[in-house]
Structure 1
């Protein structure tokens, strides 16, 4: 295994990361990571090139082809303007985990958006010393205002979330919102309002089922974690944030906390009462979400990327 101080991103990968935030206008949440090859090409450090990018070196970026942007044309244009001699290759894919053999052969892409159900466990790459120290990126001037460092443009907590054993390795670049999503027009049609209490939500589910809808949708094939996220959110609301801290820290009995049990029992009621989308266990996320977009499902646990992900089939 190559030493960690040599297993770093190429400088241009860091520069691409520096461009990700200001140019794309996205803030941190969705996790992004990457790795580089052996010796990196270096250019001259200057005010316009603070990371010392070799402007003639190629740059390979792999992004997650999910609900958010995939190729970032505005970022590519900004990078090519700054480094006109570089050949930039950006490819979107779903199974990010399939890149692991490239890490094993010491030929990974320069920058990876490590997201989705088939992402690479970052702990594996950190343990193998296969990720860069992104401290230089944090201290670099931002694109929009050279007087402001990249770290000062980030949402609070971004550096902590992306740090492992005190070293910053992964830059989350999207801020999204999880919740129970529903169609305002569908609810208006039936004079429904989204309840704030669980018992009232179960009553609404009964009404939706009587109206011929599946009250709650999910995708069992590749996105069942949306339901898990809902469960954990409910547990935290019932027992406080320490409930999740104990789970994150793998404390003994963390999953046996009363708040977790109460949340799981509440979710189980949806199945017991027949309120889940029939056949959802065999559906992928876009299939289940299509049923929701078409008005056949009342509510869907998801995040704010769903609008972009389903825009091609969303009614006008």
Structure 2
């Protein structure tokens, strides 16, 4: 890629950051090893790593444990670790990307982030590492590398699997009020009315960081309405637009939930962790969240509480074009490597990537109540009953795209902010136009 093109991509990343919610406002520190550390194996090697495994959930503790073990096993590696809370992580990563100051290794999302970073000449592929460990490479589930791949180059190995739109419900509460999980949209609206009458919040929502309504609700709900092919065409701006009636209808369904009082007051002022706590404490009958909630719930809820929870998919909608037996989702994050990392630093980076996403790490991740896209037998005695239910469900449903995994960063930010406005009363048609304009601009469509 020539210098002008690189500059253009970096500018796009910078502008998309400014267009977002502004989370994680601190400027990031120094980047990675520019030239690597060449020399003897006993020489000190510098390596920087950014991650977002900062919570108290089992998965975060597992990943931090792997990092600490790596440090013990590699005393010659001076590992500079920066743990950044999830809500601010993407914004800080985009900041250093715009300045071309990437750390050596960093947690990176599949799809559009990989595409933009690789297009900006910020990444280097890990094909040599994968090819050197064929058994590991072949242990991943089909299509696991697709969204980390560009022009035959693979830029990360997934460290998990993330269905984003699981409908969690309090089975004990449902039984008490003699209701069942919703199969149709009418069922859902009836449940909202039933629980409202009992002064119970129907659906907990924590949309402070703005991405949750998009990733966990709209991505799956809109697919029910439009079908997957329509969304992929709209993302490419080829024969479909976000101002089309079917997408406006999807926004209308989401707003209908808001207007019916499905969510608690102040849903835009709490985050997803607080939402999960609210649900676990029995203060809401349902929540719509990703697989990441499982490790948080396993760490913070009692066995009795977990045994009283169950899961299903979002309900079907009238005349929907999508498959209702589906979950929006992506393969999990992986470790990207800076284009600048070389020499001994690169070799150390390869070893850390393998430590954090190799077979042993995949098994430990699964047993920390986090789904993986790797072939590992599940020992149900090591996980919560709720996790086992989700693990079984994921194996029986279709996976559909998540909006921010396919749209440009700039357009995804417009969706996130637009859904906050939508749930506060903005017109669906107006939000649809904002999204259409942003995605059309990003792909250069007229």
- Shared fold per TM-score greater than 0.5: yes
Choose between structure 1 and 2: higher helix proportion: 2
- 1:90 and 2:86 matched: no
Q: CA deviation at 1:123?
A: 4.6
- 1:267 and 2:263 matched: no
Residues 139 and 226 of structure 1: is their aligned pair in 2 closer, same or farther, counting only changes over 3 Å?
A: farther
- 1:60 and 2:58 matched: no
Q: Which residue, 145, 156, 178 being the options, matches 2:142?
A: 156
Q: CA deviation at 1:271?
A: 1.7
Aligned 8 A contact 1:231 1:260 in 2: no
Equivalent position SS for 2:285:
strand
Q: Which residue, 144, 151, 169 being the options, matches 2:155?
A: 169
d(CA) in 2 for partners of 1:262 and 1:130?
39
d(CA) in 2 for partners of 1:193 and 1:55?
63
Q: Which residue, 228, 245, 266 being the options, matches 2:232?
A: 245
Q: Output the aligned Cα RMSD.
A: 3.3
- Number of the residue aligned with 1:134: 126
Q: Which residue, 29, 33, 37 being the options, matches 1:37?
A: 33
d(CA) in 2 for partners of 1:112 and 1:248?
27
- The answer for unaligned runs of 5 or more in structure 1 is 4-34, 45-52, 142-147
Deviations 1:5-54 (A, max 9, x none): xxxxxxxxxxxxxxxxxxxxxxxxxxxxxx8532233589xxxxxxxx88
Q: Output the TM-score relative to the length of structure 1.
A: 0.71
Deviations 1:154-208 (A, max 9, x none): 2222222012344322333211323111122332333332121111111111111
d(CA) in 1 for partners of 2:233 and 2:168?
28
Aligned 1:190-229 pairs, distance under 5 A: 190-229=177-216
Residues 102 and 253 of structure 1: is their aligned pair in 2 closer, same or farther, counting only changes over 3 Å?
A: closer
Aligned 8 A contact 1:216 1:297 in 2: yes
Aligned 8 A contact 1:133 1:169 in 2: yes
Q: CA deviation at 1:273?
A: 1.7
Q: CA deviation at 1:125?
A: 2.8
d(CA) in 2 for partners of 1:305 and 1:219?
14
Q: Which residue, 57, 70, 74 being the options, matches 1:79?
A: 70
Higher relative CO (Cα under 8 Å, sequence separation at least 6) belongs to: 2
- The answer for unaligned runs of 5 or more in structure 2 is 4-30, 304-446
d(CA) in 2 for partners of 1:92 and 1:76?
11
d(CA) in 1 for partners of 2:101 and 2:84?
18
Corresponding pairs, count:
267
Residues 110 and 244 of structure 1: is their aligned pair in 2 closer, same or farther, counting only changes over 3 Å?
A: same
Equivalent position SS for 1:192:
coil
d(CA) in 2 for partners of 1:286 and 1:223?
13
Q: Output the TM-score relative to the length of structure 2.
A: 0.52
d(CA) in 1 for partners of 2:114 and 2:61?
21
- Number of the residue aligned with 1:125: 117
Q: CA deviation at 1:252?
A: 5.6
d(CA) in 1 for partners of 2:81 and 2:62?
6
d(CA) in 1 for partners of 2:248 and 2:155?
34
